[in-house]
Structure 1
Amino acid sequence: MATTIPPLFRCPISLELMRDPVTLCTGITYERKSIEKWIADGNSTCPATMQSMPSTDLVPNLTLRSLIHSFRSSLTKDGRQEEEGCEILGAVTIRRLCSSSIGLAQELRSVRKSLIKQQQKMSPQLREDLMAAVMAVLESPSSSSEIVEEALGTILFLMPTTSSKNADDHDTLTRLARSSTAILLSRSSSTEARINAASIVEKLASADCDLKLQLGSSQPLLVALVGMLASESSTTGKGRRNSMPRAGLEAMRSLLELRRNRARLVALGAVHRVIELLPELGSRSCTELGLSVLELLCRSAEGRDSFAGHELGMFAVAKKMFRVSTLATELAVSIIWSLCKFSSSEGLMRKRAVDANTFERLLLLLHVDCSAATKQQVYELLKFLRQAYSEEPCIIAAPDQALPAAVVPIYPRF
């Protein structure tokens, strides 16, 4: 069991156990190396309090150093190994990755398994050094497809989850974006490598808005992602069903959050590909993912026009309104509502909605617990489709009845 390090023993900058604590004129204590680097970078404020420092003199905190020394001495052998094991592992790993190309795939697999156990103890510097070493392996012309596959899996673990303002980190992520694009386009890439590359694209687009714009501007990348939805192999060698289409959908969903990327993906046939994929998505999460991508695509006029060009699109969406999940129901209703209200072919869309038995499904939704926004869309859709049922007034007792006042009107999202 790991020994808990008292917060006062950690440096406010590196968050690691201090070895040489020094105190600034502001009264805050730091690790000497960390604060010296802070001052050398030209900063004139205290990192913790952001107060101006009239003096940059560093005074050794002998009392705290003595306490930390006693704390270190009290650690058991196992405790010391657990505290420093991650750093030792990282140093050894980096040397191995940089020194030889023999057995790299096995080495990368071992690295990933070991790092999963040490994740909480990994310092930012170690993560950065490991990322640089694995990136060098990934970009090496001599790396086999197996090594590339394992390197991508390791990078997925090492990638930051949030955007970084550090210029070096941004450069690394930009290089990673180029490498992932190349792997997705390469015919020699394995299925697992392409899945990992698409997952990296999804993480990059989610973490950095500039990279989202850069990735969305790459026509070859978008072509590769759309192509993943029509992959003949929906199950990888490791038995994960729908892994290839799912990875492509996740990457597309992240890119579609940027409005300008929607028209680009629509032009490449993304709408038709998602429609044709929907019946094959067996799991709840995959179905929700497919519907969310389709809903984002249909927020644009180009997406709605493309949807109208697919005769079976309305049937595919209407079939997912029930027996999947509440989220799937709300997404399906939102897609149909958008098509019937804002499509340039709204008459055709309403006719197809009637043919797909959407009217009956909407009536059932009146008795289902769903969000106020979805209820509003259901009421509006029933008004759009009631003319086809005008000969059966019993279905809607008061066709001109106003919508409930409690329901807030919904406007199209662009």
Structure 2
Amino acid sequence: MSRWRWRKAARKAKQLQLGENKGGVELVIPNNFRCPISLDLMKDPVTMSSGITYDRQSIERWIEDGNVTCPLTHQVLRSLEPIPNHTLRRMIQEWCVQNRSHGIERIPTPRVPVSPDQVSDILSKIATATKRKDQVGCQNFVGKIKALAKESDRNKKCIAANGAARVLSLAFEEFSSSKATSFEKNNVAVLAEILSCLALMFPLGVDARDNLGSVSSMTAIVWFLKGGDFTSRREAVLVLRELVSMDHRKAEMLPEIAGAMEGLFAVVKEPVSATATKAALVVIYYMVASSNSSSSPANMKSIARFVDMGLVPLLLELMVDADRSTCEKVLGILDGICSSDRGREEAYNHALSIPVLVRKIHRSSDLAIDFSVSILWKLCKNEKREDGGVVVEALQRSAFQKLLLLLQVGCGERTKEKATELLKLLNSHRSRAECIDSMDFKNLKRTFDSK
């Protein structure tokens, strides 16, 4: 179908959609009220340098895709900045009011998007207030930036594109380093406002991550993680996730900051929000992975500290009813923890360990399966009890059959090697085991059931 015929058919479909109104009267949107791209009624008409008017959302998406021509005339646009068409917008609003009886709602008057010049001006004032150590002034200007960012995605993109994260992170570092240990009342207020605004600026650039990755900044973030209100704790863990995800070395710093590990554990144990819980799991994963990749006593001590806090039973119980994303993160952490003797000992002692792991070998994501096989391999390989212990229990939970099926369906090379070795371990105890349903958790006591 040619382009013009497709448009004609689309217009007709739109007319038919809107045509069934009260009294059976067909209501047709005037052509000049439609966006040439979406064919919908324009909510925020803007005119480009080619003289053609589009809905702002549609033309901005067109430009964001890398196009520099007018979609209708194919002319190269002299300017990519859209100009609001206030006259047409008022005409559309009047038409909506006139046809209210047909179920048409009046479109609200759109807010004027923030301009790069406005953003630069406010950021300049934030930088000046920071140099003067003017907490109140800085907090007010950061509040303006945050309010503009919350108005629309377009504003947020404009603010981020003009270096907001770098300026905000510099301000955060400055106010955190001045009283990094005591946190004066004024500093807490401005730091909380900056942290809240930074949480809207992801992904952060290299400069912003470096500023927030300083000892003073990380100490301040951890302070909010452990002692802030629900909102501050959520924003703190989101910023930490951003930092460690982009630079794993930041994860190595956290165990040295007082309260960091306890704060992360608390977010998982007493959830602030689902997003915060997942962010905390990501940070813990990188901390455990960092510890596991190094043989230094200091790093391995981090795993032991998490185990002593009760992280293993908490994760196992969390995984029973968790969604796929959470399961993957939990399994990743457990895989790292079970690389240590202390971590395996804790897993051996929990009734949910083998049932949950065997269950995840089947009907899970590829990543969850890889982690489950790896953990099970570590537990069975290091089993020292003469009666077979977890090896026999894994057999009773149908691990042998599920691993065979996994090899038949296919998996990664490393997982294949571990699954094959597991089958050999399990096979040596098959005469002693009787299979039971690995999906049946009703007879297993969780730690919170015993209270």
Instruction: Please give the range of the TM-score, normalised by the shorter of the 2 chains.
Output: 0.5 to 0.7
Aligned position for 2:146: 109
- Asked if the contact 2:391/2:429 (under 8 Å) is kept, the reply is no
User: The residue matched to 1:289 in structure 2 has which SS?
Assistant: helix
Cα–Cα, structure 1 residues 391 and 210, in superposed 2: closer, same or farther, change >3 Å?
closer
**Shift in Å at residue 215 of structure 1?**
0.9
User: The residue matched to 2:428 in structure 1 has which SS?
Assistant: helix
Cα–Cα, structure 1 residues 391 and 296, in superposed 2: closer, same or farther, change >3 Å?
closer
**Distance between the aligned counterparts of 2:148 and 2:128, measured in 1?**
12
**Distance between the aligned counterparts of 1:153 and 1:193, measured in 2?**
7
Aligned position for 2:410: 369
Structure 2 residue 222 is the aligned partner of structure 1 residue 181: yes
Aligned position for 1:300: 340
Aligned position for 1:384: 425
**Shift in Å at residue 122 of structure 1?**
2.3
Aligned position for 1:226: 265
**Shift in Å at residue 350 of structure 1?**
0.7
2:251 corresponds to which letter in structure 1?
K
**Distance between the aligned counterparts of 2:205 and 2:385, measured in 1?**
41
2:124 to 81, 85, 91: 91
Per-residue Cα deviation, 1:283-330 (whole angstroms, up to 9, x for no partner): x22211111111111122221111112122111222222222111111
User: The residue matched to 2:339 in structure 1 has which SS?
Assistant: coil
Cα–Cα, structure 1 residues 344 and 248, in superposed 2: closer, same or farther, change >3 Å?
farther
Aligned position for 1:257: 289
**Distance between the aligned counterparts of 1:130 and 1:75, measured in 2?**
33
User: The residue matched to 2:351 in structure 1 has which SS?
Assistant: coil
Aligned position for 2:196: 153
1:110 corresponds to which letter in structure 2?
A
Q: Which runs of 5+ in 1 are unaligned?
A: 4-73, 237-241, 393-414
- Asked if the contact 1:322/1:329 (under 8 Å) is kept, the reply is yes
Cα–Cα, structure 1 residues 391 and 309, in superposed 2: closer, same or farther, change >3 Å?
closer
1:151 corresponds to which letter in structure 2?
I
Per-residue Cα deviation, 1:346-398 (whole angstroms, up to 9, x for no partner): 93221221232222211221221211221221111111112343389xxxxxx
Structure 2 residue 233 is the aligned partner of structure 1 residue 194: yes
**Distance between the aligned counterparts of 2:224 and 2:139, measured in 1?**
22
Cα–Cα, structure 1 residues 210 and 244, in superposed 2: closer, same or farther, change >3 Å?
closer
Cα–Cα, structure 1 residues 85 and 159, in superposed 2: closer, same or farther, change >3 Å?
same
Aligned position for 1:18: none
Residues 122-141 of structure 1: pairs in structure 2 closer than 5 A: 122-123=162-163, 127-133=165-171, 141=185
1:273 to 314, 317, 337: 314
**Distance between the aligned counterparts of 2:410 and 2:205, measured in 1?**
35
Structure 2 residue 378 is the aligned partner of structure 1 residue 338: yes
Higher mean alpha-carbon deviation, 371-380 vs 132-141, is at 132-141
Cα–Cα, structure 1 residues 344 and 263, in superposed 2: closer, same or farther, change >3 Å?
farther
Per-residue Cα deviation, 1:214-262 (whole angstroms, up to 9, x for no partner): 312345221221222222x46x3xxxxx334212211101211222132
- Asked if the contact 1:108/1:150 (under 8 Å) is kept, the reply is no
**Distance between the aligned counterparts of 2:223 and 2:412, measured in 1?**
43
**Shift in Å at residue 332 of structure 1?**
0.7
2:370 corresponds to which letter in structure 1?
E
- Asked if the contact 2:48/2:80 (under 8 Å) is kept, the reply is no
- Asked if the contact 1:202/1:254 (under 8 Å) is kept, the reply is no
**Distance between the aligned counterparts of 2:416 and 2:194, measured in 1?**
48
Per-residue Cα deviation, 1:95-131 (whole angstroms, up to 9, x for no partner): 78955488678535325447632266324xx643332
**Distance between the aligned counterparts of 1:202 and 1:121, measured in 2?**
21
Cα–Cα, structure 1 residues 149 and 111, in superposed 2: closer, same or farther, change >3 Å?
farther
TM-score (norm 2): 0.57
**Distance between the aligned counterparts of 2:213 and 2:432, measured in 1?**
65
1:153 corresponds to which letter in structure 2?
S
**Distance between the aligned counterparts of 1:324 and 1:199, measured in 2?**
26
Structure 2 residue 367 is the aligned partner of structure 1 residue 327: yes
1:275 corresponds to which letter in structure 2?
L
**Distance between the aligned counterparts of 1:345 and 1:203, measured in 2?**
43
Aligned position for 1:20: none
Per-residue Cα deviation, 1:183-217 (whole angstroms, up to 9, x for no partner): 2221xx33332122122223333455654333123
Query: How many pairs are equivalent?
Result: 307
TM-score (norm 1): 0.62
**Distance between the aligned counterparts of 2:423 and 2:123, measured in 1?**
62
Residues 17-32 of structure 1: pairs in structure 2 closer than 5 A: none
Cα–Cα, structure 1 residues 372 and 225, in superposed 2: closer, same or farther, change >3 Å?
same
**Distance between the aligned counterparts of 1:117 and 1:137, measured in 2?**
26
